[in-house]
């Protein structure tokens, strides 16, 4: 569910018209709904309410300060993957003590910083990392709280670039090796074994891979609790969202329809996994990113040109792959709708950006009502891995971001000024 819908033929986010936002702030423009963020967070929280749990929002999916603050005000912790992200948590008014620090490449500086901020746990990805954390914690006369990431070797059945839980992937430590690693870790003076962690992949649309992984890992967690007194199990993130029927899924009635029956919901997720988790009497951590932020955001763009070549009809828009890279990078689908509802003839359209690469394509042969120069379109489900993966390729400025709450809206990130793109750059001294 989400809060983007047509009201009298015009797309709105909650109580605010998208046209009015573009009039004020220009395009391309990311727009986020506070209510959708809160609802998604609360749905997960309610589904897990029978267990002592902590939701650590995977801020890699959307790290805008306004978005993060919306979630930390609801009690969310954060799944962080760099020293920069931990600093962002603090800048957003979040609590580092509710944060986990993950990632396969933690530097010495990042580890020392995370320790100084009292991070809840390091999610450790290798034995060399464990030794490094032990050494740095020793220098700081601390005991570092850690969870080791188990790779359960379960195929998440998702896109190959976002599968993480098989032995083909660089993540975690193989299931069979975990007991030995904990035994060695228990002997390290500056390590406190606090938990066990796993994450098998992103955009999972079925519960089965989660269930298989939990069934495999729960007995291991029970053994580690008995032996080392660990206090939590993190089952990672990965709950998928609706991309194909994104607009329709904003309507509660749609969820009673046949096509909605197979969608993974927090209720299904909890009902399937909790029976294996409750008996452990461990605190449960989850690290959802996309589920919370994905359908809470859209990217709005203006049609610059329409053009017909030999066989094809193209709409060239003012957003490009530098603003939303997912279609180019993962061939991912984003539903695209006109901001002003249209009765024009439906025509197979390629919506593309202006960058000189064929990959700069948002959709191919998509049947949408014919668009004209100046029309606004919205790319839905762009709240996760949208702005955060944007860049300035072709010296195009980063788009602005707007947060809406009811009838209120505010700029939570200003559009980048072109001259700020090369701040910090210079010519060489010998170039006079
Ligand atoms: N925990 C860990 C250890 C992760 O690696 C990730 C995502 C998450 C949690 C959050 O996963 P989520 O709940 O958002 O599925 N850029 C890609 C997605 C990359 C996901 C990376 N890891 C995309 O646009 O689809």
Ligand 1 pocket, residue 125 CB under 6 Å:
no
For ligand 1, is residue 421 a contact (CB within 6 Å)? Answer: no
| Active-site amino acid positions | 356
Number of the ligand 1 atom closest to the C-alpha atom of 58: 10
CATH, domain 34-293, list 3.90.1150.10, 2.30.42.10, 3.40.228.10, 3.20.20.10:
3.20.20.10
Residues of the chain with CATH 3.20.20.10: 34-293
Per-residue DSSP letter, 98: G
Distance in angstroms (rounded) separating the CA atoms of residues 411 and 6: 22
Name the strand (E) or helix (H) holding 408: strand 408-413
- Residue ranges, CATH 2.40.37.10, the chain: 296-419
Taking the CA of residue 289 as reference, the ligand 1 atom at the shortest distance is: 14
Taking the CA of residue 291 as reference, the ligand 1 atom at the shortest distance is: 13
CA angle 61-64-69, nearest 5°?
A: 105
Indicate the pTM of the whole model: 0.97
**Taking a C-beta distance cutoff of 8 angstroms, is the pair 290, 202 a contact?**
yes
Is there an atom of ligand 1 within 6 Å of 234 CB? Answer: no
Contact 68, 88 (CB under 8 A): yes
> Best substitution site from 43, 44, 58 to test ligand 1's pocket, by max atoms within 8 Å of Cβ?
58
Closest CA to 4 of 251, 15, 21, 12: 12
CA distance 132 to 155: 30
For residues 301 and 318, the answer to whether their CB atoms sit within 8 Å is yes
Per the DSSP assignment, residues forming a β-bridge with 55 are 286
Per-residue pLDDT of the chain (432 residues; tens, 9 = 90+): 999 999 999 999 999 999 999 999 999 999 999 999 999 999 999 999 999 999 999 999 999 999 999 999 999 999 999 999 999 999 999 999 999 999 999 999 999 999 999 999 999 999 999 999 999 999 999 999 999 999 999 888 777 777 777 777 778 999 999 999 999 999 999 999 999 999 999 999 999 999 999 999 999 999 999 999 999 999 999 999 999 999 999 999 999 999 898 999 999 999 999 999 999 999 999 999 999 999 999 999 999 999 998 889 999 999 999 999 999 999 999 999 999 999 999 999 999 999 999 999 999 999 999 999 999 999 999 999 999 999 999 999 999 999 999 999 999 999 999 999 999 999 999 998
Q: What share of the chain is helix, strand, coil (3-state, %, to 5)?
A: 35, 25, 40
Q: Tell me which of 3.30.360.10, 3.65.10.10, 2.40.37.10, 1.10.3720.10 is the CATH number of domain 296-419.
A: 2.40.37.10
DSSP state letter for 398 = P
- Say how many Å lie between the CA of residue 309 and the centre of ligand 1: 38
The reported pLDDT for the residue numbered 157 is 77
**392: helix, strand or coil:** coil
Q: How far apart are CA 212 and CA 48, in angstroms?
A: 19
- CA–CA gap between residue 48 and residue 56 (Å, rounded): 13
């Amino acid at each position: 569910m989400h809060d983007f819908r047509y009201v009298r033929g015009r797309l709105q986010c909650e109580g605010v018209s998208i046209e009015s936002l573009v009039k004020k702030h220009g395009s391309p423009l990311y727009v986020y709904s506070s209510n959708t963020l809160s609802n998604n967070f609360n749905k997960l929280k309610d589904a897990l309410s029978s267990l002592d749990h902590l939701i650590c929002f995977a801020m890699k999916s959307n790290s805008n300060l306004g978005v993060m603050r919306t979630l930390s005000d609801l009690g969310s912790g954060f799944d962080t993957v760099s020293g920069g992200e931990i600093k962002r948590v603090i800048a957003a008014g979040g609590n580092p003590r509710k944060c986990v620090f993950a990632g396969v490449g933690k530097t010495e500086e990042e580890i020392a910083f995370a320790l100084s901020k009292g991070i809840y746990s390091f999610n450790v990805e290798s034995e060399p990392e464990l030794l490094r954390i032990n050494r740095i914690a020793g220098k700081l006369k601390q005991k570092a709280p850690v969870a080791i990431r188990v790779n359960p070797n379960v195929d998440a059945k998702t896109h190959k670039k976002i599968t993480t839980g098989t032995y083909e992937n660089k993540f975690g430590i193989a299931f069979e090796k975990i007991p030995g690693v904990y035994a060695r870790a228990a002997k390290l003076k500056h390590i406190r074994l606090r938990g066990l962690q796993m994450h098998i992949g992103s955009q999972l649309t079925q519960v089965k891979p989660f269930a298989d992984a939990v069934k495999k890992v729960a007995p291991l967690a029970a053994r580690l609790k008995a032996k080392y007194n660990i206090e939590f199990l993190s089952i990672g993130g990965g709950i998928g969202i609706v991309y194909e029927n994104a607009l329709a899924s904003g309507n509660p009635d749609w969820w009673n329809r046949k096509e909605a029956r197979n969608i993974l919901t927090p209720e299904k997720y909890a009902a399937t996994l909790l029976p294996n988790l409750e008996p452990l009497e461990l605190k449960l951590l989850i690290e959802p990113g996309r589920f919370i932020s994905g359908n809470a955001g859209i990217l709005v763009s203006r049609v610059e040109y329409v053009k017909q070549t030999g066989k094809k009809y193209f709409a060239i828009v003012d957003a490009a792959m530098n603003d939303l890279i997912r279609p180019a990078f993962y061939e991912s689908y984003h539903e695209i709708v006109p901001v002003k509802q249209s009765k024009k003839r439906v025509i197979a359209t390629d919506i593309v950006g202006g960058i000189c690469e064929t990959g700069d394509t948002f959709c191919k042969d998509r049947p949408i009502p014919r668009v004209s120069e100046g029309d606004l379109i919205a790319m839905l489900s762009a709240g996760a891995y949208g702005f955060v993966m944007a860049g300035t390729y072709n010296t195009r400025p980063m788009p602005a971001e707007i947060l809406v709450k009811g009838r209120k809206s505010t700029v939570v990130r200003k559009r980048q000024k072109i001259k700020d793109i090369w701040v910090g750059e210079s010519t060489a001294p010998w170039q006079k």
